[in-house]
Structure 1
């Protein structure tokens, strides 16, 4: 290596250290976007709006769009679109509604044809839709129905009423009361409806709460991949790594550890860096005169200075467990006696609610701690440790088991 090339190499290296362009990751370059220019509903990774952002700003299958009214749309291909009501990036939940205010009809039409990147979460339940008419020709009213049903007015007509039954018991009640009305089943679907005040943890005394009309509620959609919830909790931002591929990393901004404004940081870098750079150039002239005699030492020096290990790398966080791993943990349906291996285990440590008969519990094999299945499933999606003893289930072998 001649003297001029060596000087150029060292200057380039130090400029890269002073101005690390390679750290301008996708997560930093892709600013949050909003269809109505409000900061309270940002569209950010894994979602993106291709018309306004580059393809590397979002994950495949998470494209959104905007309409002229400033609404965020969830495209469904030839099936049209739904309206995005809210996105919880920490919980990885998307709330969507129907622009025609008849989401049950859209759910029936889209049954088994939802985008593969999403699943109904977190309160997926079976629903049966029935077309009912009274035997005397009058309209079926809400007061006549069992408590675990709702009317779907947007699908009903003058002489018939569409009813949604929230479980198999309610469906049987509707089909058995043939003297008062006649019902025909339209469709059975598994879906996660959500509306203000809706109660999902079943109460055997009050039989839960259901809206009078199910027409204009939301559908909850969750996603597992990419898993960025824990990254968001830590104050980071997710993004794709590099210019190609689907590797996702969590980027923790270095500025979060310092209260200095960016301009002050650049001033410090320039104030300290430029004099140092001048010293390095002078030192290079001195050392380059001995290149021929100390070729091996110089090569090792150059390799060391050029090593990628000196560049700060993205902080890739270990997130929670994947869904198949979580579902492999033993699941128990609690009997009437509410008996567990430890008599003191009668309260879920996560929600602090007492276990009730017929509730689904799940245990972590390594430590045999029990929790409500819904509570621990959501916890393990965000954290790969037991919430009680902090043991890592990932290190456990033979996690699959059967419920008691």
Structure 2
């Protein structure tokens, strides 16, 4: 509760800090509302005689020098009559503004462009008068180039100097359109032409050349007289400092609290990164490939093909070459402190088994972390166990038996085949991937724990795993200690789900009530009845029955009653005469509705050990 209160107070202080800083900035801005601005990060600087008409008051600019920003942060100049051009640069010392037409067709505006009513004139010293001719069908034998943006496939528009001898030109089948109302530069018909306009009034260039600013006298836009003034480049900063001092020590304390909060958060994150880097340095001997974030973007084609979304991150399809595909899991920075990343990399680096997904590489680039696995084209097992009665995705009992046996061998390898025992803690259909031949691959070791092989149990502060697959002892030590038998329970639930097809088997109405699928299956087997799911023949029935019985052995309430994974493999590989286990659902064992144990059986508890760091 104390930490919660501290966090709440820190949050309130942080928002007060933001408000205070915003107030200081606004006060400074109000005192200098005509400060130089720009559109976007790359636009030309905008200052007197120009102004941003939608953001600055009228006295910040000279009449006729209004600019604006469009949605793409282009600087826009509007000339009479409704001629809109984009500004590329402004030279305040030579008083020249360079503009261009975004459609690359300045000639279409020349009939209505009236520079005489604007503050600008063409900068080019040599201007010419032109007449436009429309030649249809298109002519290509004139001495002059056509205007591309005005011409089409069936006609050409030519600009001919007005002082040319028209009779000497091949203008047969051409129609005179009009004369331009004023002289224009020669290059104005080039689609890539940048128009350079200059202004003579106001004469702010004299102020600019002396390093001074220019403004309207008395801030009156109706009076066109201007004046030079000394520019205080750091004036705004000084005003903000003074304003901040006036706000007093309270604001200073808030700023210090906010800075400390940012510093602490950054320090903790850097500690996490240092921890990961030290781990990866020790991990180099295992020779996985380390990728940069740029590599990850290239491999995933900028994260274009999303495969799935999980608690700890998002999985994308990637390609190392034209023939090698991978699955890339981008980890969420908001989840944990890097433990899940270290778990996956550290655990998978020690595993080399055909039924465990292979770690191809990883990325630890600043705050960005990713894991690169071999690609399983058939996705997760969850996609193929929708229902044994549905033939759309049902793989067949021989294939299901092969898959369950392979998963069991993979888990048995984790428990007994590595230097240290690996407890997965999240065995479920979603975490079993299928390759192109439907061979299963156990994946997602984010919750995994390591313990010595000569120890029997692991201590845990919180339950971990997925509801429906978590062993009872993970929730309550009344059932026993947490050990590798917890994975056996999860495998048993997975096995029963494969038999029943996501528990979608139709239970007779008279047997529904509070009975759930595993108990219903047990009752049927105990009575010698078939398990009422789709089978093609006698062999399929034997396989389904054996898988169900093995699953029931694995989900015994007490860990000591469950077989090891080595024994599970032997049962799956053996004959179809596996005996039915004791009934874990009998009233003597538990009351499921109240989740209360009625029988307290004496068990020799396994010694609890600490988790290996």
Normalising by the smaller structure, the TM-score range is 0.3 to 0.5
Higher relative contact order (CA 8 A, sep 6+): 1
Q: TM-score w.r.t. structure 2 length?
A: 0.30
Q: Which has the larger radius of gyration?
A: 2
